[in-house]
Amino acid sequence: MQIQVSDTGKGISADFLPHVFDRFRQADGSITRADNGLGLGLAIVRHLVELHGGTVTAESLGKDRGATFTVKLPLKQPKSQKSQLRGDRNSESFRPGILAGLKVLVVDDEPDNRQLLTVMLSQWGASVIAAGSVAEAIEILEHSQPNILVSDIGMPIEDGYSLIRKIRSSESDQTKRLPAVALTAYARDEDRALAIAAGYNERLTKPIEPAQFVAVLAKLAGLR
């Protein structure tokens, strides 16, 4: 199946076109640019398309001449090719039910992200409680005890660092020792060090690699 999306807008310059799907790459990288964002949108598109065994490409005649994006997806995957899909290559981590019995608290202020993580974790057998803020997460922890925490770092009002500090200073020994994974769009070594120093057991960058994600959760939960 082929899907094409075209526009007549800004277009893409010839020198930037090869990098349009790279993480954290933007045609205008200046701090005074008019458009916000981290340069992750198209990287996420490519990630999702490749997980389904497809490809995505971009074409443009240049600045102010629009762009065309083409997504190609297999309608039916032959059995001989199924094992070659991204994610299946790593694979024991993807067996159904690997996280069965695991109760995961997911914290993210973006509803779409919460839904994506909830669906992903449920497919592996975990049960999920989702919170949209630090305050909501702390309230949940007062009445329920998950086996593991998965939290975004960048959130308004209180961020993921604030959440983990509150958890590590909890009066409840069980809450204080809760295994925790931080999710962030920032991939620098310094950002990982900050997350670990704040109290997280592990930090993963967005977009999440499913094989790595489930392997980390299984390890922290003592399931492998």
Q: d(Cα 42, Cα 70) in Å, to the nearest integer? A: 12
pLDDT at 84: 40
Among 37, 72, 107, which residue terminates a domain? 72
Contact assessment for residue 76 and residue 8, using Cβ atoms and an 8 Å cutoff: no
Cα separations (Å) of 14 from 35, 59, 61, 179?
20, 9, 8, 46
Q: Which residues pair with 150 in a beta bridge?
A: 106, 181
- 14-70 per-position pLDDT tens digit: 888 888 888 765 544 443 334 444 567 888 888 888 887 788 899 998 888 899 999
Q: Is 93 domain-assigned?
A: yes
CA 80 to chain centre: 29
User: Which residue is listed with tokens 């800004």?
Assistant: 10
Q: Are residues 172 and 209 in the same domain?
A: yes
Helix (H) or strand (E) holding 175: helix 173-176
DSSP code string of 84-137: TSTTGGGGGGGSTTTTTT-EEEEE-S-HHHHHHHHHHHHHTT-EEEEESSHHHH
Residue type, 208: I
pLDDT at 92: 46
Contact assessment for residue 47 and residue 71, using Cβ atoms and an 8 Å cutoff: no
pLDDT at 28: 46
pLDDT at 165: 95
- 79-108 per-position pLDDT tens digit: 444 444 344 444 444 566 889 999 999 999
Q: Are residues 68 and 95 in the same domain?
A: no
Structure token pair of residue 50: 């490749």
Q: What's the CATH code of the domain at 139? A: 3.40.50.2300
pTM of the model: 0.61
Q: Are residues 134 and 212 in the same domain?
A: yes
Report the pLDDT averaged over residues 195-217: 90
Residue 219 is given by DSSP the state H
pLDDT at 95: 67
Report the pLDDT averaged over residues 2-24: 86
Q: Alpha helix (H) ranges present in 5-109? A: 41-51, 79-82
DSSP code string of 178-213: --EEEEES---HHHHHHHHHHT-SEEEESSP-HHHH
Q: Are residues 64 and 160 in the same domain?
A: no
Parent domain of 147: 89-220
Q: d(Cα 113, Cα 108) in Å, to the nearest integer? A: 7
pLDDT at 22: 81
* Euclidean distance between the first and the last CA atom of the chain, given in angstroms as a whole number: 38
Q: Are residues 29 and 126 in the same domain?
A: no
Our count of domains for the chain comes to 2
Contact assessment for residue 103 and residue 119, using Cβ atoms and an 8 Å cutoff: no
Among 44, 72, 100, which residue terminates a domain? 72
Task: Give the residue, 38 or 195, on which the prediction is more confident.
Answer: 195
Q: pLDDT grade, residue 201 (50/70/90)?
A: very high
Q: Is 181 domain-assigned?
A: yes
- 145-183 per-position pLDDT tens digit: 999 999 999 888 899 999 999 999 999 999 999 999 999
pLDDT above 80 (res 204): yes
Q: What's the CATH code of the domain at 23? A: 3.30.565.10
Residues 6 or more apart whose Cβ sits within 8 Å of residue 150: 104, 105, 106, 107, 117, 121, 180, 181, 183, 217
